[in-house]
Amino acid sequence: MVIAKNNIAVFGGSGFLGRAIVRQLVAAGMTARVAVRHPETMMAPDTTARGGHALSVYADVADETSVARALDGCDAAVNAVGLYVERRTEAFREVHERGAMHLARQSARAGVKALVHISGIGADLNSQSSYVRSRARGELLATEAFPGTTILRPSVLFGPGDKFLNTLIAMGRRSPVLALFGAGDTRLQPVYVGDVGEAVRRVLTTPSSQGKVYELGGPQIYRYRALIELVLKEAGRSRILLPLPFFAWDASPLSDLRM
């Protein structure tokens, strides 16, 4: 079953990854229904698509009624909604778990042919990280409500306008000291955001991918220290690297770089 050129609802389509997904779908000639909380702020994707187009609709994964409306008439759905830092009005449990359940349940009721759920690499119910645990629980809730859900677990994303390399560069410019969490030995495998967008498109046109889990990483693994040193070298900067314990992570500007 190939669903290319049909209507694809992309929840969270205004985010960094969501925009890349929409660009890929539209460039492939598909219709992307960008389901977001603020559709009036959406801009047309930058693409030279042949026959594809995008339109924005209102949806909030906390509100199942709005999710159902956004899915009406769609052939497939993508859940690219993510929260990296908890706030007073937003919590991991509400976004990654209940939101995932709402979207998967309404996708099943709407009769969509495929559901792609964006999670995070290393999702684990037993993790010490509340973020990682919530990602894992979201996967379970999505697959329970929609058994054919395809799960994508991307690593740290990079690309034009990202919060990963750009945050490191900005910190290197304004501070003489950069933090090395866990002594800088943590390994990262950054993946280009456009490649993840392409992976979503391929899943939606490959019937055998339904119900499977894919972990997405880039071609090279870096230790965090080596990655910072590489960024500083490219930026022409020299900075002191200060080891810090992991509990200080959430208080840092890098706390939203989990995926």
- 40 or 141, which is more confident: 141
Tens-place pLDDT, residues 138-169:
999 999 999 999 999 999 999 988 877 777 77
Please report where in the chains the tokens 């950054």 appear, as a residue: 190
* Phi (first) and psi of residue 133, to 5 degrees: -60, -40
pLDDT of amino acid 1: 44
pLDDT of 256: 44
Token pair recorded at residue 79: 């859940």
Q: What is the mean pLDDT of the chain?
A: 86
Residue range 210-231: mean pLDDT, rounded:
90
pLDDT-derived band at 126, boundaries 50, 70, 90: very high
Token output for 88: 């007073």
Confidence of residue 252 (pLDDT cuts 50, 70, 90): low
User: Under 8 Å CB-to-CB from 111, ≥6 apart: which residues?
Assistant: none
In sequence order, what DSSP letters do the residues of 70-133 get, joined into one string?
HHTT-SEEEE----SS-BTTB-HIIIIIIHHHHHHHHHHHHT-SEEEEE--TT--TT-S-HHHH
Predicted confidence at residue 201, as pLDDT, reads: 96
How confident is the model over 195-204, as a mean pLDDT?
97
Helix (H) or strand (E) holding 244: strand 240-244
Sign of CA dihedral 170, 174, 178, 181: negative
Residue 48 has pLDDT above 70, yes or no: no
- Per the model's pLDDT, the better-predicted residue between 171 and 208 turns out to be 208
CA 128 to chain CA mean position, Å: 21
Q: Which of the two residues, 190 and 162, has the higher pLDDT score?
A: 190
With 70 as the cut, is the pLDDT of residue 44 above it?
Answer: no
Among 74-88, 107-121, 146-160, 221-235, whose mean pLDDT is lowest? 221-235
Q: What is the mean predicted confidence (pLDDT) over 24-47?
A: 82
| Least confident residue range of 7-16, 83-92, 123-132, 171-180 | 171-180
7-157+191-216 maps to CATH 3.40.50.720:
yes
- Report pLDDT for 2: 46
- Per 3-state DSSP, what percentage of the chain is helix, strand, and coil (rounded to 5)? 40, 20, 40
Task: Give the model's confidence band at 253: pLDDT under 50 very low, under 70 low, under 90 confident, else very high.
Answer: very low
Q: pLDDT category, 60, cuts 50, 70, 90?
A: very high
Q: How far apart are CA 199 and CA 206, in angstroms?
A: 10
Confidence of residue 257 (pLDDT cuts 50, 70, 90): very low
